[in-house]
């Protein structure tokens, strides 16, 4: 998808299509994190800390159960 920036006062804005917002679960009240590596701009929703903690626990459990398999797959 190609987009152009839109002038808004002294700033530029990126208008996102409704379909893209629906797929990502973003709406007007979703806090967003914007980061860059100097070339690419990444915009991502900030997820609840509880959700992030649950994901961390699931990953730790999977690593504990399947560490040998993960290691063999990486080789």
- In terms of residue numbers, what domain contains 24? 6-74
What is the number of structural domains in the chain? 1
pLDDT (tens place) for every residue of the chain, 75 residues total: 899 999 999 999 999 999 999 998 899 999 999 999 999 999 988 877 787 788 889 999 999 999 999 889 998
Cβ-contact 12, 5 below 8 angstroms: yes
pLDDT value of position 27 = 92
| Within a domain: 1 | no
Q: What pTM was computed for the model?
A: 0.54
pLDDT value of position 58 = 93
pLDDT value of position 18 = 94
| Within a domain: 51 | yes
| Within a domain: 39 | yes
| Within a domain: 55 | yes
Give the C-alpha separation, 65 to 2, whole Å.
43
| Within a domain: 25 | yes
| Within a domain: 60 | yes
| Within a domain: 41 | yes
Cα dihedral sign for 69, 73, 74, 75?
A: positive
């Amino acid at each position: 998808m190609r987009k152009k920036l839109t002038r808004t006062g002294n700033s530029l804005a990126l208008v996102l299509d409704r379909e893209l917002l629906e797929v990502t679960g973003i709406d007007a009240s979703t806090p967003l994190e914007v980061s860059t590596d100097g070339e690419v701009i990444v915009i991502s929703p900030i997820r609840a800390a509880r959700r992030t903690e649950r994901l961390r626990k699931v990953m730790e459990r999977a690593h504990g159960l399947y560490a040998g398999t993960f290691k063999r797959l990486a080789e």
